[in-house]
């Protein structure tokens, strides 16, 4: 019996079709704390890599917007590091009482290079049904934050999980010359 025969049997019994429907309606996400009271999600489809970054090793660049911490080295490549907490309205990294010795940079691909979204830690990988994504409204969030978030899910414990709009964040970094 070849290895493809059991697969053929699954197709005939329509079990594969059910799996495809399940996958079409769901997406995998990286979960991480986003400030003191908020939890963020990022689609794994947008993820390049997660790396450790020591905040002391981020090279600051003068006259950049405050949400850009500077540049970090990743295997000889310069990576822009975005203070995701600050961009989302929380206390900037350099103003916190306790600055972690090691943070995590969630790398997402921009046009020419990867951009690192700095968070204190990465919590888990999770799966959510895209049909359950709820929109944020101007009543639930400050308007300046609405463009950075696609919506939210509610987990099994009732926690709100904010889904990042990676395209808007990348666009903000790529359009630096307009802000300087």
- HEC secondary structure over the chain: CCCHHHHHHHHHCCHHHHHHHHHHHEEEEEEEECCCCCEEEEEHHHEEEEEEECHHHCECCCCCCCCEEEEEEECCEEEEEEEHHHHCCCCCHHHCCCCCCCEEEEEEECCCCEEEEEECCCCEEEEEEHHHCECCCCCCCCHHHHCCEEEEEECCCCCEEEEECHHHHHHHHHCHHHHC
Give dist(CA 115, CA 43) in Å, integer.
Answer: 15
Beta bridge partners of 124: 31
Inter-residue contact 43 to 29 (CB < 8 Å): yes
Q: Is residue 98 over pLDDT 70?
A: yes
Q: Which residues contact 145 (CB under 8 A, 6 or more apart)?
A: 88, 89, 136
Confidence (pLDDT) at 140: 73
Confidence (pLDDT) at 138: 75
For the stretch 13-69, pLDDT in tens is: 444 344 444 456 789 999 998 877 789 999 999 899 999 999 999 999 898 888 999
Phi, psi angles (nearest 5°) of residue 77: -105, 135
Proportion of the chain above pLDDT 90, given as a percent: 46
Confidence (pLDDT) at 24: 67
Confidence of residue 1 (pLDDT cuts 50, 70, 90): very low
- Domains in the chain, number: 1
Within a domain: 84 = yes
* Structural domain containing residue 104: 27-179
**Average pLDDT taken over every residue of the chain:** 82
Within a domain: 87 = yes
Here the CATH number for the domain that contains residue 140 is: 2.40.50.180
pLDDT, greater one: 145 or 72: 72
pTM of the model: 0.79
Confidence of residue 177 (pLDDT cuts 50, 70, 90): low
For the stretch 110-132, pLDDT in tens is: 877 789 999 989 999 999 999 99
Confidence (pLDDT) at 111: 79
Q: Is residue 9 over pLDDT 70?
A: no
Give dist(CA 120, CA 101) in Å, integer.
Answer: 9
Confidence of residue 161 (pLDDT cuts 50, 70, 90): very high
Within a domain: 18 = no
């Amino acid at each position: 019996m070849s290895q493809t025969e059991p697969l053929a049997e699954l197709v005939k019994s329509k079990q594969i079709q059910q799996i495809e429907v399940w996958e079409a309606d769901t997406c995998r996400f990286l979960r991480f704390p986003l400030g003191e009271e908020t939890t963020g999600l990022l689609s794994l489809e947008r993820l390049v890599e997660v790396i450790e970054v020591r905040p002391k090793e981020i090279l600051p660049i003068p006259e950049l917007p405050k949400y850009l911490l500077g540049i970090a080295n990743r295997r000889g490549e310069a990576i822009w590091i975005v203070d995701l907490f600050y961009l989302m309205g929380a206390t900037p990294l350099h103003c916190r009482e306790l600055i972690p010795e090691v943070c995590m940079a969630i790398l997402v691909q921009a046009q020419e290079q990867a951009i690192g979204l700095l968070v204190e830690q990465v919590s888990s990988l999770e799966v959510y049904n895209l049909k359950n994504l709820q929109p944020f409204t101007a009543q639930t969030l400050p308007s300046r934050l609405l463009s950075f978030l696609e919506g939210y899910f509610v987990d099994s414990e009732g926690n709100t999980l904010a889904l990042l709009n990676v395209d808007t964040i990348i666009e903000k970094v790529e359009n630096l010359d307009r802000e300087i």
